[in-house]
Amino acid sequence: MPRTLITSAIPYINGIKHLGNLVGSQLPADLYARYCRARGHEVMFICATDEHGTPAELAAAKAGKPVAEYCAEMWQVQKDLADGFRLSFDHFGRSSSHQNHKLTQHFAGKLDEAGLIDERSSRQVYSVADGRFLPDRYIEGTCPNCGFEDARGDQCDNCTKQLDPTDLINPRSVISGSTDLEVRETKHLYLKQSLLKDRLDQWIDSQQGWPVLATSIAKKWLHDGDGLQDRGITRDLDWGIPVMKGDKPWPGMEGKVFYVWFDAPIEYIAGTVEWADATGGDWERWWRTDKGARDVRYVQFMGKDNVPFHTLSFPATLLGSGEPWKTVDYLKALNYLNYDGGQFSTSRGRGVFMDQALSILPADYWRWWLLSHAPENSDTEFTWENFQGSVNKDLADVLGNFVSRVTKFCRSKFGEEVPADGEWGTAEAALIETLSTRLKAYEALMDGIEIRKAAAELRAIWVAGNEYLQEAAPWATFKEDPAKAAAQIRMALNLIRFYAVLSRPFIPDAADAMLAGMRTEQDTWPSDVDAALRVLEPGHDFTVPDVLFAKITDEQREDWAERFAGTRD
């Protein structure tokens, strides 16, 4: 049985995520996890909340709560929303877990033993008004590379350039807005990534078939300018993983914590340890190549802003440790989803957020649109007009209408069971041939994680059934040849089950409704189309499902467009 490890970039704890965050990592990862399970893979799908660093402290302060309490509450909020969108994590963990504390401190120790940790004095921004050093994301200013006025102290969200806070033009404190800033000396630990440059370069070159987006960003960081730079891995913060050496504070680093971008990716491993602790499972067979992980295919999903840390910094941690850790085999990087002429932004409250989306429509409506418009090769824009058109045409007209017409017609003419009369002829043979060809194409696209093309191929499979139904016209055939109409409807009822199994990775609730309507839990992947279209045998009973997808009216679209316009700047 193939084994597939899947990790989704872990979302910050600070607030509810928007649809751009969802389609940038978690939702495509869930699609692939569901598909792999359906194909018989053993899957470990891990995600978590990223709970350390500036965003957590600032959000907790704004909420007037202790940061630990705030993080615990928001983990539950994010977990509930993930469940609402039917994200099928095997474990949804927390980067503040004791497992992650232990592992992060372990990696730092191993990197130090390997000569890859250096203590350096650095000049860091100090806010006189706030009376404290300001870590990277406590500072905003103008990007020296592209001129974006709201660049963060660690990275510009506009051009993705890695920054140091002292690089910013006209910097200001995120805490108070004060520009009364000074540069003072402080000590921190640095990961000497520069010593691993050639090894990382060779490692990236050895990867097969990665998206150009992923490799181009990694290569840019490796070779542009002065090349890969050493990176600070500690910060002057109260909330985080204490900098320890063994079971004692790291000399000279008392009161400091590890940088969130050092400990956050380690949570992928720690989350699997959390899963093992809860279930009695074996986490090492997923992560240690000396314990069986050599046979695992590891796939990561993330937005393009996370690519540098997952192609360079996290691999530097794993490779530099000198231990046999599993590294990623395929990295699926995605571009940005924009919102109706602007950008989604958690910090600025712009766009449709996950809780708002579920308050107006079920998850499958959003899953289908987001995945069928996944920003794979370029940024994609969400508009209400496009959303309405896609839902109405693809889900309501093509899939939902097929299920409704077939089941209602059968009930009216043959009762609520699969009719037994008649034999299949040339039309049915031609459909089976068409579906066999399209199924192979669909599988190849899903195997290659070409999300939009896979969605288009799935829709084409739905359309093929509709075209067959239109040409067969059993409602007309029934008048002259009831047995032939019965055979046509038998084919169509089996198509519903066939559609349910193939569609489940995209629209799991609708798939379950179709299977429930067909009164079957038989959801084996239909590798043999002819056999798959004979699973529901004559006499098998069914029920007419409720409407799978209601059309979005113009009034609803206009109301939602107006309602959510206020969240934009």
Whether 522 shows a pLDDT value over 90: the answer reads: no
Whether 366 shows a pLDDT value over 50: the answer reads: yes
Hunting for tokens 């896979």 — which residue is that?
454
pLDDT at 569: 41
Q: Looking at residue 167, what DSSP letter applies?
A: G
Q: Per-residue pLDDT averaged across 319-329, rounded?
A: 97
Q: Is 205 exposed, middle or buried (0-12, 13-18, 19+ CB in 10 A)?
A: exposed
Could you report the per-residue pLDDT of 424-456, keeping only the tens digit for each? 999 999 999 999 999 999 999 999 999 999 999
Whether 460 shows a pLDDT value over 90: the answer reads: yes
Three-class secondary structure of residue 123 per DSSP: strand
Instruction: Give the pLDDT band of residue 568 (cuts 50, 70, 90).
Output: very low
Q: Are 507 and 549 in contact (CB under 8 A)?
A: no
Q: Was 159 annotated as part of a binding site?
A: yes
Across the beta sheet with 139-142, the strand order is: 151-152, 139-142, 169-173
Whether 417 shows a pLDDT value over 70: the answer reads: yes
Could you report the per-residue pLDDT of 17-29, keeping only the tens digit for each? 999 999 999 999 9
Q: Are 214 and 331 in contact (CB under 8 A)?
A: yes
What integer best gives the mean pLDDT of the chain? 94
pLDDT at 225: 78
Concatenated DSSP letters of 432-450: HHHHHHHHHHHHHHHHTT-
226: tokens are: 């002065």
pLDDT at 348: 62
Separation of alpha carbons 265 and 258, rounded Å: 12
CATH superfamily of 384-532: Isoleucyl-tRNA Synthetase; Domain 1 (1.10.730.10)
Whether 501 shows a pLDDT value over 80: the answer reads: yes
Separation of alpha carbons 542 and 523, rounded Å: 16
| 132 CA to centre of own chain | 36
Q: Per-residue pLDDT averaged across 207-215, rounded?
A: 90
> What is the residue type of 15?
G
Q: Per-residue pLDDT averaged across 498-509, rounded?
A: 98
Could you report the per-residue pLDDT of 371-383, keeping only the tens digit for each? 999 999 999 999 9
Instruction: Give the pLDDT band of residue 567 (cuts 50, 70, 90).
Output: very low
Whether 93 shows a pLDDT value over 80: the answer reads: yes
pLDDT at 346: 60
pLDDT at 107: 98
pLDDT at 53: 86
Instruction: Give the pLDDT band of residue 347 (cuts 50, 70, 90).
Output: low
Q: Per-residue pLDDT averaged across 454-473, rounded?
A: 97
C-alpha dist (Å) from residue 161 to 137, 203, 333, 526: 14, 22, 17, 46
Concatenated DSSP letters of 417-433: B--------HHHHHHHH
- Ordered by start, the domain boundaries in the chain are 384-532
Separation of alpha carbons 513 and 546, rounded Å: 8
Q: Per-residue pLDDT averaged across 112-132, rounded?
A: 91
Whether 228 shows a pLDDT value over 70: the answer reads: yes
Separation of alpha carbons 68 and 56, rounded Å: 9
Q: Was 143 annotated as part of a binding site?
A: yes
Kindly provide the b/e burial profile for residues 290-318, where b requires at least 16 CB atoms within 10 angstroms of the residue's own CB. Answer: eeebeebebbbbbbbbbbbbbbbbbbbbb
Could you report the per-residue pLDDT of 539-550, keeping only the tens digit for each? 999 999 999 999
